[in-house]
């Protein structure tokens, strides 16, 4: 029996999970609400909150999984990419835990882990498959050839998809993080009410900064012409913006699937929780004859279950690291 402890601390979620023989038994996530009043994640505060949260989160994950800490076979942690001060907390904890129990240490790339969340539940995608990873910091089209063999086909040239949601929310006067709120308001809005531009970026790369500027000018102009416009049309604006972000993502996904000739297609990362993207992918999958893979909501945004499952596959391969391992703010696939 292989019991793996997974630790995630790359941004503003402190999370710990237990995986037993490839099945997730617990996944504890401590959200940091302290950043809301600053309109974004404050790195120093995130790091301090991780320090406060990490031991209770790990203790709870062990308790909920009904295992004994002496039976844990290995500890997997997020090495990067992310905020260095945040990553340091998870990395140091994982090292100390592994050292104290004389068990192996496993380093995990956070962006690979988002994709490997698809191996938590059945059915799982078959290699090679295509994954669109969309989070607060990244937008990547990835050809997944094996658990840890991934080829980056395209990525954003400026803002990430999650940033496009969050920055739009800020323009619309919504609190941080605005992605989930835009999703909620969009549900009873008319997506055809307003049209926002689709950037013409060649190949499989993305760009979202032009869209952000277009939304800013649109809102300013409308408010000037009709004061109170935004309040009156908030739901329609959210639905129209969301529909454009989703169409930008899905158009590139379609192009990538054609280019590499695969029919198993997945989405991952925080923005894969977006209902417009989820529904859009299902419809596109039916049209294109794809098998589509969409993570459960709790495995879209940052969580340690994805670190633990990735750790399990490295454990099987005997892929361990020494205690001189350091976290990486930038860490390519």
Taking CB under 6 A as the binding criterion, the range among 70-78, 83-91, 134-142, 305-313 that sits at the site for ligand KG4 is 134-142
Residue 80 interacts with, from Zn ion, ligand KG4, none (CB under 5-8 Å by kind)? none
Task: Annotate each residue in 161-200 with x if it binds ligand KG4 (CB under 6 A) or - if it does not, as one string.
Answer: -x--xx----------x-xx--x-----------------
Task: Annotate each residue in 124-143 with x if it binds Zn ion (CB under 5 A) or - if it does not, as one string.
Answer: -----------x--------
Annotated binding site for Fe cation: 110, 114, 302
Residue 273 within binding range of ligand KG4, rule CB under 6 A: yes
Residue 13 within binding range of Zn ion, rule CB under 5 A: no
With CB under 5 A as the rule, give the number of residues binding Zn ion.
Answer: 2
Handedness of CA 292, 297, 302, 305 (dihedral sign): negative
Taking residue 149's Cβ as centre, other Cβ atoms within 10 Å add up to 12
Strand partners, 133: 140, 268
Handedness of CA 162, 166, 168, 174 (dihedral sign): positive
Contact 179, 270 (CB under 8 A): yes
Window 294 to 333, contacts with Zn ion (CB under 5 A): 302
Residue 26 within binding range of ligand KG4, rule CB under 6 A: no
Determine the Cα–Cα distance for residues 305 and 175; give it in Å rounded to an integer. Answer: 27
Contact 178, 188 (CB under 8 A): no
Determine the Cα–Cα distance for residues 180 and 174; give it in Å rounded to an integer. Answer: 10
CB of 160 to ligand KG4, least distance (A): 7
Given the complex with ligand KG4, which of 83 and 265 has the nearer CB atom?
A: 83
Given the complex with ligand KG4, which of 62 and 163 has the nearer CB atom?
A: 163
Q: What are phi and psi of 237, to 5 degrees?
A: -65, -45
Q: What angle do CA 244, 306, 12 make, to 5 degrees?
A: 70
- Site residues for ligand KG4 per CB under 6 A: 11, 135-137, 162, 165-166, 177, 179-180, 183, 269-271, 273-274, 301-302
């Amino acid at each position: 029996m292989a019991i793996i402890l997974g630790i995630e601390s790359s941004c503003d979620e402190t999370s710990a999970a237990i995986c037993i023989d490839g099945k997730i038994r617990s996944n504890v996530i401590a959200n940091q609400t302290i950043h809301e009043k600053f309109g974004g994640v404050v790195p120093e505060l995130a790091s301090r909150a991780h320090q406060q949260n990490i031991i209770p989160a790990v203790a709870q994950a062990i308790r909920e999984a009904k295992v004994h800490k002496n039976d844990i076979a290995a500890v997997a942690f997020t090495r990067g990419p992310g905020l260095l001060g945040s990553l340091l907390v998870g990395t140091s904890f994982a090292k100390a835990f592994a050292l104290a129990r004389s068990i192996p240490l496993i380093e995990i790339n956070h962006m690979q882990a988002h994709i490997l969340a698809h191996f938590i539940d059945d059915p799982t995608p078959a290699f090679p498959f295509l994954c669109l990873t969309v989070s607060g910091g990244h937008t990547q089209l990835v050809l997944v050839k094996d658990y840890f063999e991934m080829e980056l086909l395209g990525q954003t040239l400026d803002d990430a998809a999650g940033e496009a949601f969050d920055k739009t929310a800020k323009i619309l006067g919504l609190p941080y993080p605005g992605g989930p709120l835009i999703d909620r308001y969009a549900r009873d809005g008319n997506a055809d009410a307003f049209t926002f531009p689709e950037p013409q970026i060649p190949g499989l790369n993305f760009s979202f900064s032009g869209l952000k500027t277009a939304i800013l000018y649109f809102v300013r102009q409308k408010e000037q012409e009709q004061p109170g416009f935004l309040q009156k049309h908030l739901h329609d604006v959210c639905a129209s913006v969301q529909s454009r972000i989703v169409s930008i993502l899905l158009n590139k996904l379609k192009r990538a699937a054609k280019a590499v000739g695969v029919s198993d297609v997945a989405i991952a990362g925080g923005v894969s929780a977006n209902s417009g993207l989820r529904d859009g992918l299902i419809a596109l999958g039916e049209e294109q004859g794809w098998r589509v893979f969409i993570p459960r909501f709790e495995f879209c945004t940052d969580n340690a279950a994805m670190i633990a499952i990735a750790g399990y596959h490295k454990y099987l391969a005997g892929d361990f690291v020494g205690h001189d391992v350091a976290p990486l703010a930038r860490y390519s696939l």
